[in-house]
Amino acid sequence: MDVDLTLRSILVAVFAVAAFSKLRSVSSFRDFAESLRPLGAARSAPAVVAGEVLVVVLLLTRWALVGYLVAAGILLVFVTGIARSLRQDVPVSCRCFGGRGGRLGGRHVVRNLLLVVVAVAGASVTSGSLPASAGGAALAAGSGLLLSLLFIGWDELAFVAGLDERGTAAR
């Protein structure tokens, strides 16, 4: 199986769903921008979405290495913002994938750091080309899309696991 294509597929799906969820309507984008206000970052909402779209485009082209590096950079900015909100005890709603996400917490730091690992691993193995066989490509892409659901559904998995907003066991 082609590891590069699997890792690309994970990140393409995660960033595409994130961007689409914010761009699907004016109110979705407005809600996302408003969710950044407690961090003083509401004006950065267009740049966040543009970055997410850029990652998708780069990873789908021969510029995959750049896409992986941009993805890692964006995710580290997200981790920094989440850590800042936690340190200052500023409640920020997670609108990462649209909807009414819970409060950003430690579980989001973990999710984004795992995605950084995916991006760095991808950058280290990318060849910039697609697999030779269609079957191998389908298996790699399908595996990546399936794995992306773990990240996209992270909050739901945390709920099922009994974790609270901060990522600790709920009482």
Is the pLDDT assigned to residue 85 strictly greater than 60?
yes
CA 120 to chain CA centroid, nearest Å: 14
| Bigger pLDDT: 169 vs 155 | 155
The H or E element spanning position 94 is: none
Quick one: average pLDDT of 8-26? Answer: 94
Structural domain includes residue 48: yes
pLDDT on residue 68 = 98
Rounded to the nearest angstrom, the gap between the alpha carbon of residue 108 and the centroid of all alpha carbons in its chain is: 10
Q: What is the pLDDT of residue 40?
A: 81
**Residues 29/35/37/42 CA torsion (nearest 10 deg):** -30
What does the pLDDT read at residue 73? Answer: 98
* Of 105 and 121, the one with more pLDDT: 121
Look at residue 169 and tell me if it is in a domain.
no
Residue 166, pLDDT above cutoff 70: no
Q: What is the C-alpha end-to-end distance of the chain, expressed in Å?
A: 42
Is residue 165 in some structural domain?
Answer: no
Cα 27 to Cα 30, 34, 50, 149, 171, distances in angstroms: 5, 10, 17, 25, 35
State how many domains the chain has: 1
pLDDT at position 100: 63
For 149, the domain range is: 3-160
pLDDT > 70? residue 18: yes
